[in-house]
Structure 1
Amino acid sequence: MALALCITFLGYVMAILLPFLRHQKTAAGDPQSFEWHVLIPCLDEERVVHRTVTRMREMHPSAHVWAIDDDSSDGTLTILEDLARTDLRVHVVRRTPPQARQGKGAALNAGWRAIRRHLEMVHGEDYEKAAERVVVGVIDADGVLDPDALATLSGPTIFGDTQVGAAQLQVRMVNRGESGRIDAGDPEPVTRFGRLLVTLQDLEFRSVIAAMQHLRRSLGSVGMGGNGQFSRLSVLDLIAEQHGTPWHGSLLEDFELGLHVLLVGRRNEYCNDVWVAQEGLPSARALVRQRTRWAQGGMECLRYLGAVLRSRNLSTPAALEICYFLLIPWTQLVGSVVYVAAWGFVIRYAVMTPAGVTGWFAGGAWGLIPLIIVFGIGPLAVWGLVYRIKAEPGTGRGRALLLGLAYWIYSYLMIVSVWRAAFRIARSKSDWVKTDRVYQGLAKGSAPRAAGRAHPPSTSGSLATSAAEPATFTR
C-alpha cells in the first residue's frame, strides 16, 4: 500500500513537472483596456500597510486601492485614512463589530460591496456593461505587486480572453534579503534556520505550486491563491447572484472562489511571468499554524466534490484533478499512517531475522535504499534543481541539491499541519488565526491606537460598515 501511494505521487510529480519546464512567456496587453480595483484586507497591519498602499499607487497609478480595515486594534485605520485624504484612488472600508473579524472572506465581501456601490454611482445604468471590464485584485497587506502585472494580465490569453473569469499570479517571498530587487528587498531573517525556511517557501511557491498550476492550465482547473488573485467584477457578481456573496466561509476562501468561477462556466488562468511578493515565515511554529489553516480549509472544501463531479462546465480531466487536490489532505492522513506502519514491519523483519540486521540487509533488504531514494526522497528533492532552473539561476548546483534535500524534510511540517487540521475539525474549531507580520517598519508619524479605543469619525475617502453592512461615501 505504501509503495502504491509512492508510485501515485511520483506519477503526479512527473505530470506537473513537464508542462512547467516547457512554459512559454505570456504576451502582454494594454492595461488601459480595463479598470483595476485592488482589495487589501487589513487587520492590525500598521507595520506594513503604509508601504504596501504607497507602493501600489506608485507602481500602478491607474488602479484604485480599497483597504478594508477589519476593526484593527492598532494604528492601521489612522494610517489608511491619512492616505485616503491625499489620494482620491485610495478608499477605506471600515468594518465594525459584530460583523468585523469574521475571517478574510467576509472582509473581501465587504470590499466587493463597496466597489459595487462606487461603480453603480459612477456608471449608473451602464454598470453591468462596465463590470465586464472591471478587474478586482486581492493583495495581502504585506504584498508587493510586480510593476508589469497589469499589462501581463491584460494580455490576449488572460483577461483579453472574454472566457477568463479569474487569474492567479506567481507568489514569491519578499524577505529573502537581496538588496536592489523589489521582489526580495526586505531584510532576511536573523537566524540561519529562519533564512532556510523563507527560501524553502520561495522554492515551494515558485517551483512546486507553479508547476501544479501549469498542469491545471492544460486541464482547465487552475486554482486561486489568497494573494495575487484577480477576478472580473461581472463574474464575482454572477457568483453572488447564485450564492449570496463571492467569497464564502471556508478557511481556504481563495481556492473556494476559484472553484465557483469554474462552476459558473468561466476559466481560470495562471500567470507565472509576473508575481506578487509576500513575507515568508521564519518560524516553524508560525509556518505550521498557517499551513494548518490552509489544510483545514482544503478539508472543508471537500463538500464541493459532488458539485465538481456533476458540473457540465468542467471537463473530465479538470474534474479529476480538482478531486485529487480536494482529497490530498485526507490521503496525507492515510499515507502517514501507512508509512509508519510499513516502517514498523521493516524494523520487525530486521530485528527478527535469524542472521540479525546485517544478514537481513545483505540478504536483499539493501534494495530498500534505491526504493526510498526514487519514490520517497527523489520526487521532493528534485525541486531544488527545478528552482535553480526556473526561478533562481544564480543558485549553485550544490546549494540547489541541498535545498532539494531540505525541502524533503520541510514536507514533513505539512504532515504535522494536516494532522493538526484534522484535530481542529474533530473539535469543531473553525476560528481564523491571522499570521503575524515579520517586517518591523512603521509609517513615519503614525502611532498605534490603544486596543478597544473607539474608531474616529469617518473621514474623506472612507466607507463605514455597520452590522447590516450599509456604507456611505463622504467624498
Structure 2
Amino acid sequence: MDGIELTTQIMDRPKILTISSDEILLNDIKEYLEEANYEFRKTDSDVINIKNALEKSPDLILLDADEKNIDLVKFSKYIESYNIPHIVIVGMLFDEILDKVLESSPYNFLIKDIDKEELQRSIAVALKKHAQNTQNIIDAKNKVNEKKSELIIEKSSSIALLALCIFLILLAIFTRDATWLQWILLIPTVFMLINACASLKKQDELKKIEDGDELPFVSIFIPAHNEENTIKATVESVANIDYHYDGKPQYEIIVINDGSTDLTGEILSSIKNNIPHLKIITRRPPRSGKGKGFVLNDALTLSKGEIIGVFDADTHVKPNYLKTIIPYLHDDIDGVQSRVKMFNKNENYLARMQHLEFASFGNTLIAKDNLGKTSFLGGNGQFVKKESIIKCGRWDGFAVTEDLNLAVKILIDGGKINYCGECAVYQEAILDWKSLFKQRIRWAIGNFETLFIYFPDILKAKIPIAKKLGIIEHISFYSFNLLIFFGFIVSILNIITWFFLGNMIVIKMDAPIIVGLLSFISFFPGNIIAFSRDKPGIITLIKDIFKYYLYSYHLIPLFFMTMDSMITRKERTWAKTVHKGRKHLDSFEEIPESKQISSNNIEPIKSDEDKETYLINNINKLEEDLKKN
C-alpha cells in the first residue's frame, strides 16, 4: 500500500521544465524544486530539444532570458498553443531586455541569483493562477456551448408554437368553429381576473425610515452606452437622493460606460468631481457591447453595497426614493421592483399608452405581491440584495432580458420579490412605432427565452404549486397574445354580422355564454383598477381604457415579428433603446427640480452639431478632470 501511495505522489508532482545552459543555475533550481516536491526537468535552447521537451507536457516553464538563441516574444507566442505558463529568469541584461520580458507576458519574472523561497512562491502562484485561468476558459466554452444548445431549443420551440397557433387559427376559419378557442382562453382569463381581484387588497404596511436610522449601504448601477443626451440629468437626479447617515451618503452611484462612441465619457468626467459618491467604470472593445448582464456583473464585482439597484440612463427620481423603497427589502425578501412612469406621457398617443402599459404592469405586480411575494423585476427601478444575486449565479450576460431571467432564478430558488407602488422611476417614453416595436420584440424574445429554457426547472422547483403557476403565467404572457386578440376579432365580427346581416355568425363560438363573456371582459377590470390609481376624471379614464384596448392589438403583429426574429437569429443579441433626452416634461408636479449640483456650467448637448462646440468650450475642464482621475 505504501508503494502505491508513493507512486501516486510522484505522478502527481508538478513538472517544471527549465530552459537554460547555465549549470550553476540549473543545479540551484533542481535543489529548490525537489525540496518543494516539484519534478525537475531541463533542456537547452536548441529548438528541437525544446520541442521534444514541450511534447512531454510540463506544467510550467522556467526560461533563462540569457539564452542567446531564444527571442522572448516569439517564444511566448510559440508556447501559447501548448497552454503552458512560464516564468522568466533575468540576469545581468535586466534593464536592456525588460520591455521584451514584459511583452512576453510571463506569469512572473525572477532575478539571478534566485532566492529559494521566492522561486517556490512564484511557481506556486503561477500554477494556481494558470489553473484558474484554464478553468475560466473551460467554463466560458461550456457556457457558450450551453447557450448554443439553448438557442436550438428556442428556435425549435418557436417554430412549434408558431405552427400550432397558425394551425388553430386556420382550423377555426375553415371549420367556422372556434369553440375550442373559448376554452383555451379561459386559462389566461382566470389568471387576469384573479390578478385584478388580488390587486384590490392593500399591500402590507411597512416601517418607514426616519432621520437618524441606520441605513443599509446601497449601490446604484447605471449602464450607459451612447447616452450623451440623458446621462448628466440622470446622474444628477440620482445624486440628489436624500439617503444619508451621519451626514454621509449611504449609497454609491456606479455608471458603467459600455463602449460609448459619443460624449458620454467626457460628460461623466466633467461632473465626477462634484459628485463624490459617483464611480465610473469604462468598458472598451472587445469587452464592451456584449450585453447588459455582463455590464451589471462587472459593476457587481466592484460594488460595496449590500443592496444593488439598477436604473436606466434616462431615469429621474424624487429625493425620498431610497427611503421609500428600501424598507420593502425587509427580512427574507430578496428583491423589489418600483413603479415606472413616463415623464413625457402626454407628448403623443404612444407615450400615453406606454404610461398606461406600465401602470397595468405595476397593478399586476401588486397582485402577485399580495398572492405570495411573487412579483417580478422589470429592469429600471429594481433593487435586489447582493447575496441573492450571487446565490442565483448573477445576471446572465447572454439573456436578452436579464431582469426577467434574474427574477425567475430567484423565485425558482424559493426567493421572494416585492412590488413598491409608493415611489416611481420616471423614464422617457418612445415616440414612434418603429422604435417601439424594436424594444417590444426584445422584451418578447426575453419572455420566450425564459419560458422555453426555464419551464422544466420551474416544474421541478421545490416551491408551492401556486407559485409555479404564477411564474408560468407571467412568462407565458406573449404566448397567449395571438389567440387572445384573434378571439377578440372573432367575437367583434360575430357581433357585427349578427346585428347587420340577420343573425349570421361568421365563426361559431358555442361554449356557455359565461365562458365567452368572461374571456371578453377579463381585459378590462385589472386595467380599470390600474388606471384609476392616478385618480383621473371619469371621461379621461374611459378614453384611456378605449385607447389602450386598441393599442393592445399591436400584440398581434408583434407575435409574428418576434417569432421571425427568434427563428432566424443566429445568436442572442441585445439592442438598447435610444434615449433622446428630457425635452418635454409633462409632470413637473411629480418630478422635483434639481438642486443644481454644480457641473461648472457646462452646457448640455442639444444636437450632433453641438459636439465639436462642446469639446472646444470645455476642453480645459475635461483635461483637468482626466488628470485628476
TM range (shorter): 0.7 to 0.9
Match of 1:378 in 2: 521
Give matches, 1:158-173, under 5 Å: 158-161=328-331, 163-173=332-342
Deviations 1:108-140 (A, max 9, x none): 11211221xxx3xxxxxxxxxxx6xx1110001
**What is the one-letter code of the residue matched to 2:324?**
T
2:229 aligned with 1:47, yes or no?
yes
Kindly tell me: are residues 460 and 213 of structure 1, through their superposed partners in 2, closer, same or farther at Cα, counting changes over 3 Å? farther
**What is the one-letter code of the residue matched to 1:106?**
F
**What is the one-letter code of the residue matched to 1:408?**
Y
**What is the one-letter code of the residue matched to 1:251?**
V
- Whole-Å Cα distance in 1 between the matches of residues 370 and 457 of structure 2? 20
Kindly tell me: are residues 444 and 372 of structure 1, through their superposed partners in 2, closer, same or farther at Cα, counting changes over 3 Å? farther
2:544 aligned with 1:389, yes or no?
no
- Whole-Å Cα distance in 2 between the matches of residues 460 and 237 of structure 1? 38
Query: Which of 286, 290, 310 is the aligned partner of 2:460?
Result: 310
Kindly tell me: are residues 86 and 385 of structure 1, through their superposed partners in 2, closer, same or farther at Cα, counting changes over 3 Å? same
Q: Secondary structure at the match of 1:445?
A: coil
CA drift of 1:237 comes to 2.2
Deviations 1:294-331 (A, max 9, x none): 0000011120111111111x221011111122333223
Match of 2:577 in 1: 435
Match of 1:246 in 2: 395
Kindly tell me: are residues 267 and 358 of structure 1, through their superposed partners in 2, closer, same or farther at Cα, counting changes over 3 Å? closer
Q: Secondary structure at the match of 1:59?
A: coil
TM-score by length of 1: 0.76
- Whole-Å Cα distance in 2 between the matches of residues 167 and 248 of structure 1? 21
Aligned partners of 1:106 and 1:248 also within 8 Å: yes
Match of 2:356 in 1: 203
Deviations 1:404-438 (A, max 9, x none): 11111111112322221111110025322221224
Deviations 1:130-162 (A, max 9, x none): x6xx1110001111224333223332xx2221x
Deviations 1:377-398 (A, max 9, x none): 53334455324432x21x2212
Aligned partners of 1:50 and 1:79 also within 8 Å: yes
Give matches, 1:401-412, under 5 Å: 401-412=542-553
Q: Secondary structure at the match of 2:273?
A: helix
- Whole-Å Cα distance in 1 between the matches of residues 514 and 623 of structure 2? 65
Aligned partners of 2:488 and 2:520 also within 8 Å: no
Query: Which of 382, 385, 388 is the aligned partner of 1:232?
Result: 385
Match of 1:218 in 2: 371
Kindly tell me: are residues 461 and 38 of structure 1, through their superposed partners in 2, closer, same or farther at Cα, counting changes over 3 Å? farther
Match of 1:326 in 2: 475
Kindly tell me: are residues 410 and 73 of structure 1, through their superposed partners in 2, closer, same or farther at Cα, counting changes over 3 Å? same
Match of 2:438 in 1: 289
Kindly tell me: are residues 405 and 396 of structure 1, through their superposed partners in 2, closer, same or farther at Cα, counting changes over 3 Å? same
Q: Secondary structure at the match of 2:240?
A: helix
Match of 1:153 in 2: 325
Query: Which of 110, 120, 142 is the aligned partner of 2:298?
Result: 110
- Whole-Å Cα distance in 2 between the matches of residues 209 and 371 of structure 1? 28
Kindly tell me: are residues 50 and 365 of structure 1, through their superposed partners in 2, closer, same or farther at Cα, counting changes over 3 Å? same
TM-score by length of 2: 0.59
Unmatched runs of 5 consecutive residues or more in structure 1: 120-130, 177-187, 463-473
Match of 2:315 in 1: 143
Kindly tell me: are residues 364 and 108 of structure 1, through their superposed partners in 2, closer, same or farther at Cα, counting changes over 3 Å? closer
Match of 2:10 in 1: none
Larger Rg belongs to: 2
CA drift of 1:261 comes to 1.9
CA drift of 1:77 comes to 0.8
CA drift of 1:246 comes to 3.0
- Whole-Å Cα distance in 2 between the matches of residues 267 and 87 of structure 1? 34
- Whole-Å Cα distance in 1 between the matches of residues 523 and 311 of structure 2? 29
- How many matched pairs? 410
Kindly tell me: are residues 372 and 289 of structure 1, through their superposed partners in 2, closer, same or farther at Cα, counting changes over 3 Å? farther
**What is the one-letter code of the residue matched to 2:193?**
M
Match of 2:284 in 1: 96
Kindly tell me: are residues 213 and 420 of structure 1, through their superposed partners in 2, closer, same or farther at Cα, counting changes over 3 Å? farther
**What is the one-letter code of the residue matched to 1:304?**
Y
Aligned partners of 1:69 and 1:95 also within 8 Å: yes
Unmatched runs of 5 consecutive residues or more in structure 2: 1-179, 244-248, 584-598
CA drift of 1:32 comes to 3.6
Query: Which of 450, 453, 456 is the aligned partner of 1:301?
Result: 450
Deviations 1:81-125 (A, max 9, x none): 22223322100010111111112112111211221xxx3xxxxxx
Match of 2:429 in 1: 280
2:627 aligned with 1:445, yes or no?
no
Deviations 1:211-241 (A, max 9, x none): 244224423422111100001112222223x
Work out which structure has the larger RCO, using CA pairs closer than 8 Å and 6 or more positions apart in sequence.
1
Kindly, what percent of the aligned residue pairs are identical? 20
Over the aligned positions, Cα root-mean-square deviation in angstroms equals 3.6
- Whole-Å Cα distance in 2 between the matches of residues 364 and 446 of structure 1? 59
Deviations 1:57-89 (A, max 9, x none): 112452210001111111111111222233221
CA drift of 1:345 comes to 10
Match of 2:27 in 1: none
CA drift of 1:56 comes to 0.8
2:194 aligned with 1:15, yes or no?
yes
**What is the one-letter code of the residue matched to 2:341?**
R
Kindly tell me: are residues 86 and 364 of structure 1, through their superposed partners in 2, closer, same or farther at Cα, counting changes over 3 Å? closer
**What is the one-letter code of the residue matched to 2:227?**
E
Kindly tell me: are residues 50 and 405 of structure 1, through their superposed partners in 2, closer, same or farther at Cα, counting changes over 3 Å? same
- Whole-Å Cα distance in 2 between the matches of residues 139 and 339 of structure 1? 37
**What is the one-letter code of the residue matched to 1:45?**
E
CA drift of 1:281 comes to 1.6
Deviations 1:138-187 (A, max 9, x none): 001111224333223332xx2221x11111111111113xxxxxxxxxxx
Kindly tell me: are residues 36 and 400 of structure 1, through their superposed partners in 2, closer, same or farther at Cα, counting changes over 3 Å? same
Aligned partners of 1:221 and 1:319 also within 8 Å: no
- Whole-Å Cα distance in 1 between the matches of residues 506 and 396 of structure 2? 58
Match of 1:175 in 2: 344
CA drift of 1:8 comes to 2.8
Kindly tell me: are residues 316 and 363 of structure 1, through their superposed partners in 2, closer, same or farther at Cα, counting changes over 3 Å? closer
2:501 aligned with 1:358, yes or no?
yes
Deviations 1:177-210 (A, max 9, x none): xxxxxxxxxxx42xxxx2x222222122123442
Query: Which of 392, 395, 398 is the aligned partner of 2:539?
Result: 398
2:550 aligned with 1:422, yes or no?
no
